[in-house]
Amino acid sequence: MANILVYTETTQSKPKLVTLEILGKLSGHTVEVASFDELGDEATKQLAEYGASKIHALKGASLEQYSPEGYANALNDFIKSQNYDYVFAGSTSLAKDLMPRLAGMFDAGMASEVTNFVMDGDSFSGTRPMFAGKCMAKVEVTGPKPHFVTVRPNALGMPESPTSASGEVNQQEVQAGEIRAAVKEIIKGASERLDLTEANIIVSGGRAMKDSENFKILEDMANVIGATVGASRAAVDSGYAPHAMQVGQTGKTVAPSLYIACGISGAIQHLAGMRTSKVIVAINTDPDAPIFTKADYGIVGDLFQIVPIMTEEFKKLV
Amino acid sequence: MNIFVCIKQVPDTETKVTPNADKSYIETNSIKWIMNPYDEFAVEQALQLKASESGSSVTVVRVGGVKDTEALRTAMAMGADDSILVEGPDHLDSYMTAKALKGAIEKSGKKPDLIFAGKQAIDSDSLQVPQLLAQMLNLPSVSVVVGFESEGGQLKLKREIEGGAVEVYEVNAPCVVSCNKGLNTPRYASLPGIMKAKKKPMEKYSLDDVGVSDDDQRVKYSDFQLPPEKPAGKKFDAMDEADQQKVVSEVVNLLRTEAKII
């Protein structure tokens, strides 16, 4: 069995769901969790429920705010004092930035954004998309340990019956070391909702939206079903939505349970960003739009009429 | 300033991808190769910085196959001064790539002030090389940059994070910067630029020259497969106003009872 560390972040004081997905998948191994974020009783209880044997609450000067060097230096010191075979993390914005630098400190390899994996004894093998999801490949890490792995949110799924562990909390003093690139300010995004990459339901608009104002009907639907709103590249390039909302090969890759594509034709590059959605609903006036070949439920119709009707139907259910 | 840009040559986004015969990679025979789209923003930002810092030069570096060196010529046609090609397979893992780039930059004899790269390559989507390279060179790095300001090497960089939020970094050069869409609008190579690029220097090194060997491999890929095909879905016609309510009710009902998703 392997000794494993799962690096964790919190969203609104709760561990990010991807951490719980990873813990569930690693059931049976000795798994510890580490975080720089504030972990209250509820959070530590939940981490224990999902299998964390120890929870290291990392604290130190200059570590209240993320910086790539500060967090990497601190984690480097902590990991060196332990004996982990693997370090896992959800493939979040922060982990994508931090983990490669941290792996580099150990001259170690990293498997990025796997969508599934098997931990057989102390041997890891993962599956990951390549070429924007146009094919899948098996990935293994070789060379010095620990080996690093990041996991795409929403890909593993939540464990049905997690195995709990002791969840013993350890307050760990760590050093940030020298920080040359520091965050001076954070400018909040327009959206209060979950980021597209973590959202469970996404409602997306394409070029047929015709105007940024028209996205309001998607926002209305999103409010009812708790979704995040996305956009195709065509909509972004036409100025109807900011780039942060773009789903696709040169935007974000998403893996929600439900993806509702409104007025999106379904170009290869868009499909690359959302093809692993569990259920896809497409609304388009063109019956030959490529999106219909990937949709579980396709509606040939005018989104400006269909979307409000659908929102009303959703209201009846919720 | 000595400005470097790390670029990668990748299959065009329209390319149909099929696993090769022994599933060790994809079939590369009929691929159209392009400069990694995110690297275009890196080249553009390097050129803008060069214009604002007199006496600066832009060197483009690529690790990859010899048969296609178009991406380097394109970058030089856009305005980069010279280039370095480290000859090797197009798909080395991130660790080997970063180590090769480090070796090439060190061999150039120019101490880097800024190193630009695209935030990720659209073939491997690993998002490791820029941060790994910075660690290997003992430099700070800021990734996914959507805003860049430089006052004589004092940098103010905007990094895009979840939810469209932005972290504003202050850092002094030297620094590695990985670029995201939205940072700038890459210029087209002009015809005179393309002609000039043919004569600009392209230094060539082997992996051995830059200190990289097979022992540096850290990630192994195998068993390339097409993703599982979804079974065909249900399609409903709601172009007629009379059908709209019925169709939507049915789909929402299926989402609840069949897909069990709402």
pLDDT in tens, A255-290: 999 999 999 999 999 999 999 899 999 999 999 999
Nearest to A249 among B13, B136, B224 (CB): B13
Residues in chain A closer than 8 A to B114 (CB atoms): none
> What is the average pLDDT score of chain B?
95
Whether A296 sits inside 8 A of B234 (CB atoms) is: yes
Alpha carbon of B229: minimum distance to chain A alpha carbons (Å): 9
CB atoms within 10 A of CB B190: 12
> pLDDT tier at B260 (50, 70, 90 boundaries)?
confident
- Mutation pick from A112, A198, A249 vs chain B, by most beta carbons of B within 10 Å, is A112
**Mutation to test the B interface, candidates A10, A75, A135, most B Cβ within 10 Å:** A135
In angstroms, the first-to-last Cα distance of chain B is: 56
The secondary structure element, H or E, covering residue A203 is: strand A201-205
DSSP 8-class letter at B177: E
Give the pLDDT band of residue B29 (cuts 50, 70, 90).
Answer: confident
Contact B219 A141 (CB under 8 A): yes
* Strand bridging mode A123-130 / A54-59: unpaired
The per-residue pLDDT for B138 is 98
State residue A82's pLDDT score: 95
A132-145 per-position pLDDT tens digit = 889 999 999 999 99
Q: Where are chain A's structural domains?
A: 3-173, 201-317
Which residues in chain A have their CB less than 8 angstroms from residue B175's CB?
180-181
Kindly identify which residue of chain B lies nearest to residue A130, measuring between CA atoms: B124
Of A96, A134, A276, the CB nearest to B127: A96
CB–CB contact B131 A104 (8 Å): yes
The answer to whether B122 faces chain A, any CB pair under 8 Å, is yes
All residues at 6 or more sequence positions from B224 whose CB lies less than 8 Å from its CB, including other chains:
A130, A135, A136, A137, B19, B20, B23, B24, B25, B26
Task: From residue A205, give the alpha-carbon distance in Å to each of A233, A242, B23, B38, B158.
Answer: 10, 12, 37, 24, 27
Distance CA A258, CA A202 (A): 6
pLDDT at position A208, please?
Answer: 97
CA distance B44 to B5: 10
> pLDDT band at residue B66, thresholds of 50, 70 and 90?
confident
- How far, in Å, CA of A244 to CA of A263, rounded? 19
Topology of the domain covering A201-317: Rossmann fold (3.40.50)
Given this model, what pLDDT does residue B132 score? 98
Cross-chain Cβ contact A135/B170 below 8 Å: no
Whole-number percent of chain A with pLDDT over 90: 92
**How far is B69 from chain A, CA to nearest CA, in Å?**
21
- Predicted local distance difference test score (pLDDT) of residue A192: 75
Q: Are A258 and A282 in contact (CB under 8 A)?
A: no
pLDDT value, residue B164: 85
- Three-state secondary-structure class, residue A13: coil
Which segment of A74-83, A188-197, B143-152, B188-197 scores lowest on mean pLDDT? A188-197
Instruction: Give A-chain residues touching B98 at CB under 8 angstroms.
Output: 104
Report residue A112 as tokens: 């990025």
Cβ B129–A314 below 8 Å, yes or no? no
- The string of DSSP codes covering B93-130 is -HHHHHHHHHHHHHHT-PPPSEEEEES--TTT----HH
Tokens in use for B184? Answer: 């700038």
- Report the pLDDT value the prediction gives residue B30, as an integer from 0 to 100: 86
Pairing of strands A110-114, A116-120: unpaired
Helices (H), chain A: 17-25, 41-49, 68-80, 93-105, 216-225, 233-237, 268-274, 303-317
pLDDT > 90: percent of chain B? 87
Phi/psi for B15 (5° steps) reads: -55, 130
* DSSP β-bridge partners for residue B142: B177
Rounded Cα distance, A40 and A14, in Å: 8
Q: How many CB atoms lie within 10 A of CB A57?
A: 17
B226 contacts in A (CB within 8 Å)? 134-136
Q: What is the pLDDT of residue A191?
A: 72
Q: For residues A16 and B218, what is the distance between their CA atoms, to the nearest angstrom?
A: 28
Interface with chain B: mutation pick from A37, A71, A114, A134, highest number of B CBs within 10 Å: A134
Residue A83: HSE in the Cβ half-sphere, 13 Å Cα cutoff: 3
Of the candidates A181, A268, A293, the beta carbon closest to that of B14 is on A268
Number of alpha carbons in the 13 Å side-chain half-sphere of residue B96: 24
Encoded tokens for A259: 């993806």
Interface of B with A in 52-71 (CB under 8 A): none
Q: Does domain A3-173 have CATH number 2.20.25.190?
A: no
Q: Is the pLDDT of residue B104 over 90?
A: yes
pLDDT at residue B231 in the model: 87
Contacts of B234 in chain A (CB under 8 A): 296-298
Q: If pLDDT is split at 50, 70 and 90, which confidence band does B262 have?
A: confident
Alpha carbons B93 and B216: distance in angstroms, whole number:
9
- Which residue type does B148 have? F
- For the four alpha carbons of B102, B105, B107 and B112, in that order, the dihedral sign comes to negative
User: How many A×B Cβ pairs under 8 Å?
Assistant: 271
Low-confidence ranges of chain A (pLDDT < 50): none
Q: Give the model confidence (pLDDT) of A8-51 as tens digits.
A: 999 988 999 999 999 999 999 999 999 999 999 999 999 999 99
Count of beta carbons in the 10 Å neighbourhood of residue B151: 8
Nearest CA in chain A to B36: A250
Amino acid at A156: L
Do the beta carbons of residue B131 and residue B50 sit within 8 Å? no
CB-based contact A295 B218, cutoff 8 Å: no
pLDDT for position A254: 94
Residue A225 is predicted with a pLDDT of 94
Query: Residue B163 has what pLDDT?
Result: 83
- The answer to whether B140 faces chain A, any CB pair under 8 Å, is yes
Hey, are the CB atoms on B128 and A131 less than 8 Å from each other? no
**Angle B70-78/B37-52 helices, nearest 10 degrees?**
30
- Enumerate residues 147 to 186 of chain B having a beta carbon within 8 A of any beta carbon in chain A: 157-172, 175, 181-182
Contact A89, A100 (CB under 8 A): no
ipTM score assigned to the predicted complex = 0.94
> From the list B126, B165, B239, which residue is nearest A186 (CB)?
B165
What is the C-alpha separation between A311 and B236, in angstroms, rounded? 18
What is the pLDDT averaged over residues B244-259?
Answer: 94
pLDDT score of A183: 97
Contacts of A301 in chain B (CB under 8 A): 237-239, 244, 247
Domains of chain B as residue ranges with CATH:
2-216 (3.40.50.620), 230-262 (no CATH)
The bridge status of strand B202-206 relative to strand B141-151 is: unpaired
Please count the other Cβ atoms lying within 10 Å of the Cβ belonging to residue A166. 11
